[in-house]
Amino acid sequence: MTPRTALSPEMTLDALNVEPGDRAGCLALLEGPASPAVEKVLAHLAARLGSADESNPELGTPELPVTEMDWLSAMMRFVPDIRQWHGARGISAEISLATLADFGRNMAINRRVHHRFGMDTYKWLNNVFSGRLYQLGRLQYLIHQPSADIPGVGAGEWILGVHIPEGGDLSPAVVAESLALAAPFFAEHFPEKPVQSANCESWLLDPYLGATIAEDSNIARFAALFTPYGEPRNEPTDAVYFTFRTRNMDNLDALPRTTALQRVVLERIDAGGTWQLGFGFVALPR
């Protein structure tokens, strides 16, 4: 592999926006040379950089197990590579760092959910370190070729998957500002992958939610941007996880019902309903 540009551990953690409570654990992973397992993940990340391959293979073998900590160590060590790749594409340092901040964000969520150091969603970060996902304003955009039929999107065409990182509101102005950035950004930095539309797969697009919450709420307005396609799919824990950051469905009575959204989520389950993943698409502003 190409030798990496030197970057101090503290600078690496700053680039990834790692919170104070996780910095000691991260620094411990960066101490000393990379293990054979970490080198294996680094080789995988290098091979996937710029690739359209979205698969997440199990890299470990009985002879050489690859753990969650090996993945995290490799991703941190890969920061100079992805920063250099962003720069070669003309992507600004501001957008590069905003995108890489998903590492620290997911690590902080992991601590809140599991009360330990680590990241159970580390495979999601493959999208960041492969150069497929970018944060533009409030939203993240994953350039991909959809596997499902989406109206107006031909086979093999590129589309942007819209994702909502934790933090900040979903007011119409903030969402519109982000959507307006998407098409110009990808046209400039990925002209070989032209995009005209975006899709979203989320429990926020569950038809039940749109019919239950206030029409003038930010969530309802966000969902209304997307034209539904396909059939919603049962995902019983998604609404609970993203509202309360737990997938434990055994102690729902102990969860707060302070906000209207919290009440809607829990009352549907109380009534015997199941939350679903909804699918929608929207034409990107040009």
pLDDT of residue 21: 96
pLDDT digits (tens, 9 = 90+) for 138-161: 999 999 998 778 888 888 899 999
What CA–CA distances, in Å, run from 266 to 5, 22, 197, 274?
A: 49, 31, 33, 10
* DSSP code for 146: -
Query: Does the reported pTM lie above 0.75?
Result: yes
> According to the model, what pLDDT value does residue 1 have?
43
pLDDT at 5: 61
Q: What are phi and psi of 233, to 5 degrees?
A: -120, 135
How many of the other CB atoms lie within 10 Å of CB of 85?
18
Q: How far is CA 132 from the centre of its chain?
A: 11
CATH number for the domain formed by residue range(s) 134-286? 3.40.630.120
Return d(Cα 255, Cα 243) in angstroms, integer: 10
Helix (H, G, I), strand (E, B) or coil at 193: coil
Return the pLDDT at 118: 97
Token couple for 111: 């601590």
Closest CA to 95 of 181, 23, 200: 181
Asked if 148 and 279 count as a contact pair (C-beta separation under 8 A), the reply is: yes
Q: Rounded to an integer, what distance in angstroms lies between the CA atom of residue 49 and that of residue 68?
A: 20
Residues of the chain with pLDDT under 50: 1-3
Distance CA 55, CA 74 (A): 18
Number of Cβ atoms within 10 Å of the Cβ of 258: 8
| Residue entry with tokens 């969530």 | 219
Domain regions of the chain by residue span: 1-53+66-131, 134-286
